[in-house]
C-alpha cells in the first residue's frame, strides 16, 4: 500500500492554517479487509483514561476554555424556529458570561465555538446572525438522521446548504451499506457527496450505535476517509447508543493509521450524550494521547453538543468563585 502524499516526518502533525485537505484516494478493499478491532482491548484502554488523566485548577480552566473552541453548538430539534437559531447564534457570539471571563483574566481572548450546527432550513438564518464573527455554519444534510432519501435528493440538499452559506456539511451514511459490506457503494456515495460539497468541508456521520461491531465502525471510518471525508463523526445524536470512549478509540486509531499511510490529517467529531465538562476533558485527553496535542484544534476535533457549553460555563464559574451557578444563569436559547 502506498498512498503517501505528505511525508509526516518532514512536517509537523498539526500544520495550522496550511492544513492540507483530504483529496481522497482510490478504494483499497485489501486494506479494508485487513481492518480488525478488539472490543475487549479497546474497552480496557478506554476504562483507564478517566482515572489516569485529570487536570486541576488553572490547567483545568485552560482546558475548558479550549473545549469551548471545539464545540459545534447545535440545535437539531423538530420544534426549532428561526428565533431559537438566532438565540443560539447570540450564545455563540458570547459563549461565556463577561464577568466570568474578566474574573479569569481572559476577556481579551477570542473564545467562540468551532461552528453552529443547524438543519438546512435554518442555514440562512444562522449565517445572517453570525455575520462578521468568523464562526462557520454547519448544516446537517442528506436526509438527516436516517440518510435514506434518494441519492439525488441528498446531493441537492447538500448543494442547497452550500448555496445558502454553510461552510461545513454533516452528512449521514446509509448504515445498511456497512452492515452488508457494500464498501464500493459507500465509497461511491461519499465521493459524490464530497463533490457536491465543493469548498465546504464534509463530516461523515457513521451512526456507530447501529453498526453492530467496532470492526464495522473502523472499516466504515476507513472507507469514508478514502472517499475524501474531512471529518469522521460518531452519531446523529438520535440513536439509542451515541458517542462513547471505546468507539472513539477505534475511530481515532483509524485516523492515526490513515495519517501514517497518507500523511493526511482527518478530523474527529464525537456527538450525542456529551453533556458534562468532565466527559469533554476525557475526550480531549484521549485525543492528546492517541494523536497528539496538534489534533486539539477546531479543524481537527469537534464536539457535537447542545448542552455541553452550559456545564463548562458552570465549571468555569466554580473555578473562579468556588460555587456552582444554577443552569438558568447560563441560558442557551
Which position among 91, 269, 282, 311 bears the catalytic label? 269
Query: Which of 103, 123, 143 has its CA nearest to residue 319?
Result: 103
Neighbours of 184 (CB within 10 A): 12
Q: Is 91 a catalytic residue?
A: no
Buried b (16+ CB within 10 A) or exposed e, 282-301: bbbbbbbebbeebbbbbbbb
Instruction: Quote the cell numbers at residue 264.
Output: 493526511
- The answer to whether 153 touches 175, Cβ cutoff 8 Å, is no
Is 164 labeled as catalytic in the residue annotation? Answer: no
Of the candidates 170, 230, 282, 311, the residue annotated as catalytic is 170
Report how far apart, in Å, the C-alpha atoms of 1 and of each of 11, 22, 183, 188 are. 21, 17, 18, 21
Of 124, 233, 282, 311, catalytic: 233
- What strands lie across the sheet with 71-74, from one edge to the other? 267-269, 231-233, 201-205, 168-172, 137-140, 115-119, 71-74, 303-305
**Closest to 184 in 3D by CA, of 22, 33, 3, 23:** 33
Grid coordinates given for 111 = 473564545
Q: How many residues does the chain have?
A: 333
Structural element, H or E, at residue 104: helix 98-104
Report whether the peptide linkage leading into residue 145 is cis, meaning its omega lies within 30 degrees of zero: yes
170 is catalytic: yes
Catalogue the active-site residues: 170, 233, 269
Amino acid at each position: 500500500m502506498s498512498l503517501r502524499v505528505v511525508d509526516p516526518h518532514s512536517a509537523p502533525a498539526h500544520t495550522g492554517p496550511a492544513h492540507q485537505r483530504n483529496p481522497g484516494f482510490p478504494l483499497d478493499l485489501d486494506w479494508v479487509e485487513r481492518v480488525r478491532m478488539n472490543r475487549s482491548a479497546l474497552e480496557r484502554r478506554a476504562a483507564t483514561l478517566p482515572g489516569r488523566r485529570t487536570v486541576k485548577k488553572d490547567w483545568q480552566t485552560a482546558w475548558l476554555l479550549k473545549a469551548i473552541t471545539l464545540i459545534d453548538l447545535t440545535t437539531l430539534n423538530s420544534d426549532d424556529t428561526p428565533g431559537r437559531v438566532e438565540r443560539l447564534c447570540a450564545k455563540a457570539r458570547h459563549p461565556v458570561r463577561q464577568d466570568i471571563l474578566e474574573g479569569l483574566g481572559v476577556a481579551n481572548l477570542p473564545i467562540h465555538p468551532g461552528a453552529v450546527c443547524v438543519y438546512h432550513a435554518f442555514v440562512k438564518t444562522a449565517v445572517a446572525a453570525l455575520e462578521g464573527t468568523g464562526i462557520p455554519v454547519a448544516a446537517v444534510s442528506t436526509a438527516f438522521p436516517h440518510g435514506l432519501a434518494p441519492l439525488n435528493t441528498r446531493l441537492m440538499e447538500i448543494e442547497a446548504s452550500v448555496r445558502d452559506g454553510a461552510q461545513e456539511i454533516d452528512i449521514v451514511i446509509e448504515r445498511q451499506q456497512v452492515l452488508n459490506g457494500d464498501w464500493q457503494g459507500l465509497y461511491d456515495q461519499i465521493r459524490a457527496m464530497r463533490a457536491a460539497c465543493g469548498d465546504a468541508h464534509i463530516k461523515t456521520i457513521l451512526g456507530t450505535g447501529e453498526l453492530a461491531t467496532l470492526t464495522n465502525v473502523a472499516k466504515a471510518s476507513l472507507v469514508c476517509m478514502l472517499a475524501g471525508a474531512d471529518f469522521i463523526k460518531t452519531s446523529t445524536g438520535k440513536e439509542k447508543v451515541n458517542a462513547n470512549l471505546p468507539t472513539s478509540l477505534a475511530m481515532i486509531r483509524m485516523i492515526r493509521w490513515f495519517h501514517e499511510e497518507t500523511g493526511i490529517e482527518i478530523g474527529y467529531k464525537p456527538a450525542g450524550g456529551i453533556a458534562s465538562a468532565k466527559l469533554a476533558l476525557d475526550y480531549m485527553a484521549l485525543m492528546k494521547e492517541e494523536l497528539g496535542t496538534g489534533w486539539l484544534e477546531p479543524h481537527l476535533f469537534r464536539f457535537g453538543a447542545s448542552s455541553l457549553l452550559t456545564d463548562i460555563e458552570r465549571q468555569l464559574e466554580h473555578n473562579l468563585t468556588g460555587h456552582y451557578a444554577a443552569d438558568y444563569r447560563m441560558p442557551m436559547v
